[in-house]
Amino acid sequence: MWLQETYNVKLHQIQKGDWGSNPTELVNFVSAPDDTLCLYIIEPGSTLTQINNGTVRTFSDLGLDLTADKWNQADLEFASKGGQVYGLYAGKTEPRQCLYFNKRVLTEAGIDYEKELYDAVENGEWTWDKYIAMLDKITRDTDNDGVIDIWGVTGDANDMYFISVFSNGGSFFKFDENGKIQPAMEDGSNTIDALNWARDEIYFKYFYQQPADGQWDYYKEAFKQGNIGFYQYQTYGGFNDGAELADAEPWGMVPFPVPNAGDPYITIASDNFTVMPNVYDDETAKKLAFIYDLWTNPTPGYEDEDDNWIGNKYNFTDERAVDVSYAMLREHGVTNLALLLGTLNDVLGAPLTWNLGWQTPAEAFDASRIAWQNMCNLYNGDPLIEAEPAPAE
């Protein structure tokens, strides 16, 4: 009310589309604008298309302090091109990657999840080594027939590889000093070391993999069968009404572990962006940005963040999964710039993570180096590289 009365404006937040259709609503508005003054919220995967098509304008020249604490810097980096910021997100990251666990399965393996998991997370001691030790306890052939009956973990292997890389300080792509995106897989050893660890120490030893007759998303039902300890997935799989784990046995949730005690627990940011249609003159655009800046400020007298983010999450699991694990994951979002170049399946899945069952990370890097560079060059507007011809036999 204060904002509306002070600046003589009427503000409305309405739903014209949804996660998938809002980008189309934005394009339609830009193609045939009316007198409405508006901003749009769009999902991150469509950001690059909107920037390249010129349907959104930059916020960088509108007088905002984009270094202010309220702006999520991981998201601002993602929504940038050529040093210009085209999308805004205020607040902490919505957690995505996480590890669910079946309380009964861990207890039967002799693991006290309150002390060995939740306490370790809270004390910053939930590490790769501790995770492997638990997977080793859980994974068992209970009837000595030579077939594993209880598996350590299942889930989305792509998520496991991605979060392993970022938790180890690695990355797949980066912006260089000129604001151009470049491959970063082979900068140092963090990325390749993490992929080797996830592949050799988890996937090959403790990961319940896709059965010969299974669908690609086999893991969604496999975890609910009650013979797997951990489930590598994302928070929406458990913390939403009607989510996949609604009919699962009692579960808890922890962040993906870190290489060393004291490292921050990481989630990959995938927040929705606020963008401005590229239809307004500079004066109008500055006024819109000014109002949105005030709109996203804390309400005077309520500067400390409240607990609205908790919502009804206690309905799904125990308090420590929310108060400890979920809360910690909100603090450290990182950006997977691969999404600027295309879908994760096209950019990282087909060339890399889908092949790690029979190919080492180093071999995948070598085979895909030119393709990744050309993805970057296309984004940057640079000439493409021609592949070297195969040697004559």
Amino acid 343: pLDDT: 86
Q: Do domains 2-92+270-306 and 97-267+334-380 have the same CATH topology?
A: yes
The lowest-confidence range among 158-162, 196-200, 272-276, 325-329 is 272-276
C-beta pairs of 374-377 under 8 Å, 24+ apart in sequence: 375/341, 375/342, 375/347, 376/173, 376/180, 376/181, 376/182, 376/183, 376/341
Share of the chain above pLDDT 70, in %: 93
Tokens encoding 247: 């009919």
For residue 9, pLDDT over 90 is answered with no
Which CATH superfamily includes the segment(s) 97-267+334-380?
Periplasmic binding protein-like II (3.40.190.10)
For residue range 258-288, list pLDDT tens digits in order: 999 999 999 998 888 899 999 999 999 999 9
Mean pLDDT score, 111-137: 98
- The residue among 51, 31, 11 whose CA lies nearest residue 290 is 11
> Rounded to whole angstroms, what are the CA distances from 44 to 41, 149, 336?
9, 40, 11
Cβ neighbours for 384, distance < 8 A, ≥ 6 positions apart = 374, 377, 378
Comparing 43-52, 83-92, 247-256, the range with the smallest average pLDDT is: 43-52
What is the crossing angle of helices 190-197 and 157-167, to 10°? 140
Residue type (1 letter), 222: A
Greater pLDDT, 332 or 123: 123
How does pLDDT run across 82-111, given as a tens digit for each residue?
889 999 998 888 899 999 999 999 999 999
pLDDT, position 80? 85
Is the confidence at residue 389, as pLDDT, over 70? no
Provide the 10 A C-beta neighbour count for residue 284. Answer: 12
Mean pLDDT calculated for residue range 209-231: 93
Which residues on neighbouring strands pair with residue 153, listed in sequence order? 207, 230
Residue ranges per structural domain of the chain: 2-92+270-306, 97-267+334-380
Q: Are strands 333-334 and 267-268 parallel, antiparallel or unpaired?
A: parallel
pLDDT of residue 229 exceeding 60, the answer is yes
**For 129-165, how does the pLDDT look when each residue is reduced to its tens digit (9 = 90+)?**
999 999 999 999 988 888 899 999 999 999 999 999 9
Mean pLDDT of the region 336-362: 93
pLDDT given for residue 82 in this prediction: 81
The reported pLDDT for the residue numbered 226 is 95
For 156, other C-beta atoms within 10 Å of its C-beta total: 20
Dist. CA 283–CA 278, nearest whole Å: 13
CATH superfamily of 2-92+270-306: Periplasmic binding protein-like II (3.40.190.10)
Structure token pair of residue 284: 């109008």
| pLDDT of 180 higher than 80 | yes
